[in-house]
Amino acid sequence: MSLGDPRWSEAFGHLADYLGSHIRVSLAALALGLAVSLPLAIAARHRPMLRGILLGMAGVVQTIPGLALLALFYPLLLALASLSLRWFDAGFSAFGFLPAVAALALYSMLPVLRNTITGLNGVDPALKESAQGVGMTPRQSLLMVELPLALPVIMAGIRTAAVWVIGTATLSTPIGQTSLGNYIFAGLQTQNWVLVLFGCAAAAALALTVDRLLSLIESGLRLRRRFRTWIGLLGIAALVIVTLAPSFGRSGARVVIGAKTFTEQYVLAALISQRLQAAGLATSTRQGLGSSVIYDALASGDIDVYVDYSGTLWANQFHRDELLPREQLLAALKTTLAQSHITLLGELGFENAYALVMPRARAEALGVRTVADLAARSGGMTIAGDYEFFSRPEWRGLQKTYGLSFKAQRVMQPDFMYAAVASGEVDVIAGYTSDGLFAKYDLVTLDDPKQVIPPYDAVMLLAPKRAHDEAFRAALQPLLGRIDLPLMRKANLRAAESGAASSPASVAGWLWERIGKR
Amino acid sequence: MISFRHVTKRFDGGVTALDDVSLAITEGELLAIVGSSGSGKTTLLRLANRLIAPDDGEVHVSGENVADVDPIALRRGIGYVVQDGGLFPHMTVADNIGITPKLIGTPAGDIAMRVEELLELVRLDRSYRDRYPHELSGGQRQRVGVARALAAKPRIMLMDEPFGALDPLTRDALSDDFRALHDDLKLTTVMITHDMTEAILLADRIAVMTSGRLIAQGTPTELTASGDAFIDRLLSSPRRQAERLQHLMAGSRA
């Protein structure tokens, strides 16, 4: 990890964009949070009922994990956007900025509410009476006496909120808001720890900077040092201005490529981006999008293209549980997608399906080649799967059809599953067929003779507005049917390594060379 | 100038703070209200600038029922001094003194002049202008408190134990100074104290309260003549102190 490592320069290359977006979304959320919390706190300070309700609700919000809160706002705004489109003929994007700002603003409310109420109620009653006695109206008393005296406590709340919001904003990446979280999500998926560290350090530095600036404003106001207050205010203003500047120069005509939160998606997005750029189109990538967010983002035109998997669309997006053979499934999907004006441009040539996976040596020693073979022995074995596998229809189908019954089930972060099965920590995992780690750990997939697991062909989807964009389609056409399973596995393995050539962009370049030779 | 007419005030929980109190203060008078804590004297005072409203009865100030006037305007026209000054800790001496003129909309230049004038009036050096209350002694704070109350040139002063927390020397000096101000500025003052000696030395008339009732009012001489046992007991303490002092002083001289 020397400073000469090209990953550093890659990380720095994104800094202006990621940091700028991070600051914009954090400060907007903080401003919105303050605009809502401060008046509420002032209104609630003499009303114990309202105060109890507000603090209770803000407390409940705080217990919702940040990731979930952000994810919840996406469908909410999506529904609002479609209502607004229907009623006022004015839609807005429910993707990225708005849900992130709304969720983060909600997140900022508790410390501001609590400290403002505590601060105001902590003002000496004798002073409030003095304020009345000299002839102040309630409003004058609030502005001239109570708020200034409660200021240190209120500012402490605002500073807490600022640090929380800046930290939590890293989680807004999966709902489509570019942030310093892009470094962290991308780094975690491609095992690029340089990126993860870089993202964390940048977010921490930003949080500390904003905290310092707010503390300058606070001490300036408290000690009546105008100079300090101005330095703090100018610092915040400078942050806002600096981060707004790049967005002026950004053209609105870019093609936006979406990528979900795993390695293969980063590589494929980079590949698509390179093809489109080669065709003369300006592109940008929205990485680390949640599985359900990305489809809606495509349908509403927030992104233009991404790669999904037939089985995922079928089961998760359209909630269908009947098992169809590959060709029928693709045909059915095309029809269903067409109803939303989404184009299924074609298959890439490989499948990324769930499969039961064991180390080759172990499987051979036990004579296990298929899931049916495994069923006889599974009673003494442990299986591991990702967060969703054990609640998916495939798993229920496997259990029922083959009579599988394991001693124990464990849920794991996908990246760690492969090492766990290779080391004997667990006996079987529900892996992904295109994963690059098969070669690294010498693993095999067990056959599924009764075809319980549906096909998961990688398919390229286009947003409605690109349906008839011939140049666009032509640029992507060469990718269709050209990437087979071994090639994708190799690409994924390269991306999972920690060398300098493991960035999604260089792996995509490598992949294109291989495709071009075919 | 101020008259309380059969006022009764009950607080939550059924405590009767004032029970049918009637009291009139004439123009130019300095009236002291004496009573132990909980006797209702502060409650009575706060009725006059409508910090609270009576449950029964009426309060008239300058001939008007306070219930019919704008409480904000009423308070801006009445000086109000509390124990320890009640100064705003985040404002300088000058800002504290100038607060009521500022609320009324007096131009800043006029306020600055008025602040100078008042500092002189309460005998504080003008170098105190830009100090904060925590940088002042108790006596100085109280002088600022009096200056603030006088800033908008009120004709009425309400004072709630203004000198209660001060050491005896400061207290003597301050109460003498205030009596002089009261006479010079032709104020009408209602002052609460729990110290009978202070009341006798300072006030034109004394009102005695206990358990929310006004049990006597009059000049010190009139009170002495009343013959009421409770009032006698109240008056006996300053008298006994004076006798003992005289005795001790005489003894040391002999």
For B79-88, how does the pLDDT look when each residue is reduced to its tens digit (9 = 90+)?
999 888 889 9
Residue A135: list chain B partners with CB under 8 A.
72-73, 75-77, 100, 103-104, 152
Taking chain A, what is the end-to-end CA distance rounded to the nearest angstrom? 35
Minimum distance, in Å, between the CA of residue B216 and any CA atom of chain A: 28
Nearest CA among A204, A136, A214 for reference residue A170: A204
Residues from chain B that touch A145, judged by Cβ atoms under 8 A, are 88, 90
Nearest residue in chain A measured CA to CA from B152 = A134
Q: What's the rounded Cα separation, in Å, for the pair A198 and B155?
A: 70
Can you tell me the distance from the alpha carbon of A57 to that of A55, in angstroms, rounded to the nearest whole number? 5
Q: Which residues of A touch B100 (CB under 8 A)?
A: 134-135
Of the candidates A126, A134, A145, the beta carbon closest to that of B100 is on: A134
Q: Closest Cα partner for A25 from A189, A172, A196?
A: A172
A295 contacts A317 by C-beta, under 8 angstroms = yes
A214/A234 Cα distance (integer angstroms): 11
The pLDDT assigned to A376 comes to 87
Mean pLDDT of B224-230: 79
Note the pLDDT of residue B254.
46
Q: CB-based contact (8 Å) between A54 and chain B? A: no
Strand pairing of B213-218 and B205-210? antiparallel
Interface contact A9, partner B, CB < 8 A: no
Chain A contacts of B76, Cβ < 8 Å?
Answer: 134-135
- A413 interface with B at CB cutoff 8 Å: no
Residue A252, judged by CB atoms within 10 A of its CB (0-12, 13-18, 19+), counts as: exposed
B80 touches chain A (CB under 8 A): yes
**Which residues of B are less than 8 Å from A140 in CB distance?**
103
A301 close to B (CB below 8 A): no
Closest chain A CA to residue B100: A134
Q: How far is A120 from chain B (nearest CA, A)?
A: 15
Cα A105 to the chain's mean position, in Å?
18
The DSSP code sequence of A281-331 is --EEEE-S--HHHHHHHHHTTSS-EEEEEHHHIIIIIS-------HHHHHH
Q: Identify the CA nearest to A406 among candidates A434, A432, A426, A436.
A: A426
Backbone conformation region of residue A287, classed left if phi is above 0, alpha if psi is from -120 to 50, else beta: beta
Joined tokens for residue A181: 């979280």
Query: Of A285, A291, A280, A281, which Cα lies nearest the Cα of A303?
Result: A285
Q: Over 80: is that where the pLDDT of B55 sits?
A: yes
Q: Which residues from B are below 8 Å from A134, CB to CB?
A: 75-76, 80, 99-100, 103, 148
Within an 8 Å CB–CB cutoff, is residue B52 touching chain A? no
Which residue in B has a C-alpha nearest to residue A223's C-alpha? B90
> Does any CB of chain B come closer than 8 Å to the CB of residue A365?
no
Confidence of residue B249 (pLDDT cuts 50, 70, 90): confident
A328 reaches B (C-beta below 8 A): no
Find the CB nearest B75 among A127, A132, A149: A132
Contact between chains at A137 and B72 (C-beta distance less than 8 A): yes
**For testing contact with chain B, the best of A128, A129, A130, A149 (most B CBs within 10 A):** A130
Q: Which residue has the higher pLDDT, B78 or A416?
A: B78
B82 CB within 8 Å of a chain A CB = yes
* Partner-chain contact B90 A149, CB within 8 Å: yes
Q: Is the CB of residue A368 less than 8 Å from the CB of residue A414? A: no
B73, B90, B148 member nearest A134 (Cβ): B148
Establish if B75 touches chain A: CB-CB under 8 angstroms. yes
Q: Is some CB atom of chain B closer than 8 A to the CB atom of A142?
A: no
Pairing state between β A457-462 and A305-309: antiparallel
- The three-point CA angle A138-A139-A141 to 5° equals 65
pLDDT of B148 above 90 = yes
Chain B nearest C-alpha distance from A241 (Å): 33
A134: nearest CB among B89, B90, B99: B99
**CA dist B195 to A4, A99, B33, B242, Å?**
83, 66, 10, 14
Considering CB atoms only, which of A133, A145, A148 is closest to B75?
A133
CA pair distance A377, A367, nearest whole angstrom: 11
Q: H/E element holding B32?
A: strand B30-34
Chain A residue with CA closest to B83: the answer is A126
Alpha helix segments (H runs only) across A224-280: 226-249, 263-278
Nearest to B31, CA basis, from B209, B173, B174, B165: B209
Query: Beta partners for B31?
Result: B190, B205
Q: Is the pLDDT of residue B251 over 70?
A: no
Q: How many residues does chain A have?
A: 518
Count contacts between A and B (CB, < 8 Å). Answer: 51
**Would the CB atoms of B72 and A134 count as touching at under 8 Å?**
no
Does any CB of chain A come closer than 8 Å to the CB of residue B87? yes
DSSP A3: T
3-class SS of residue A195 = helix
Q: In angstroms, rounded to a whole number, what is the distance separating the alpha carbons of residues A420 and A406?
A: 16
B86 contact A CB<8A? yes
Task: Report how far apart, in Å, the C-alpha atoms of A478 and of each of A162, A282, A297, A347, B37 are.
Answer: 47, 19, 25, 11, 94
Q: Determine the pLDDT at residue A5.
A: 65
Report d(CA B148, CA A311) in Å as an integer. 79
Order the strands of the B56-61 sheet from edge to edge. B16-25, B2-10, B56-61, B64-65
- B108 CB within 8 Å of a chain A CB: no
Closest residue on chain A to B146 (Cα)? A134
Euclidean distance between CA atoms A272 and A278, whole angstroms = 10
Nearest residue on chain B to A151, alpha-carbon basis? B90
- Could A127 and B86 be called an inter-chain contact, meaning their C-beta atoms sit closer than 8 Å? yes
pLDDT of residue B221: 84
DSSP letter assigned to residue A231: H
CB pair distance less than 8 Å for A130 and B49: no
pLDDT digits (tens, 9 = 90+) for B26-37: 999 999 999 888
Q: How far apart are CA A360 and CA A442, in angstroms?
A: 6
Cα four-point dihedral sign A406, A407, A412, A416 = negative
Whole-angstrom distance, CA of residue B97 vs CA of residue A499: 72
The answer to whether the beta carbons of residues A306 and A300 sit under 8 Å apart is no
pLDDT value at residue A261: 80
B72, A127: Cβ pair inside 8 Å? no
- pLDDT tens-digit profile, chain A (518 residues): 455 566 677 778 778 888 888 998 999 999 999 999 999 999 998 888 898 898 888 888 888 888 888 878 877 887 787 777 778 776 677 777 888 898 899 889 989 999 999 999 999 999 999 999 999 999 999 999 999 999 999 999 999 999 999 999 998 888 878 889 888 887 877 667 888 899 999 999 999 999 999 999 988 887 777 888 899 999 988 888 877 765 544 445 688 999 988 889 999 999 999 999 988 888 888 887 877 788 888 988 889 999 999 988 888 888 887 778 888 989 999 999 999 899 999 999 999 988 999 999 999 999 999 999 998 888 889 999 888 788 887 888 888 899 888 998 888 887 788 889 998 889 999 999 998 888 888 999 999 888 888 889 999 999 998 888 888 899 999 999 989 999 999 998 888 877 767 788 889 999 999 887 65
Collapsed DSSP state (helix, strand, coil) of residue B239? helix
Which among B76, B86, B89 is the nearest to A135, CB-wise?
B76
User: In the sheet where A443-445 sits, what is the strand order?
Assistant: A408-411, A382-385, A428-432, A354-359, A443-445
Secondary structure class of A215 (helix, strand, coil): helix
Q: Do A129 and B51 touch (CB under 8 A)?
A: yes
List the single residue in A133, A140, A144 with the smallest CB-CB distance to B49: A133
**Distance to chain A for B170, nearest Cα, Å:** 23
**Residues 139-178, chain B: which have Cβ within 8 Å of A?**
148, 152
pLDDT of residue A356: 93
| Interface contact A131-B76, CB threshold 8 A | no
DSSP letter at A95 equals S
**A-contacting residues of B 15-44, CB under 8 Å?**
none
E strand or H helix at A114: helix A97-121
**pLDDT tens sequence across B101-140:** 999 899 999 999 999 989 988 888 989 999 999 999 888 9
Q: Do A129 and B86 touch (CB under 8 A)?
A: yes
Distances (CA, A) of B188 to A487, B24, B68: 99, 11, 21
Interface contact flag, B82 A134, Cβ < 8 Å: no
**Residues of chain A with C-beta less than 8 angstroms from the C-beta of B89:** 127, 149
Cβ separation B99–A133 shorter than 8 A: no
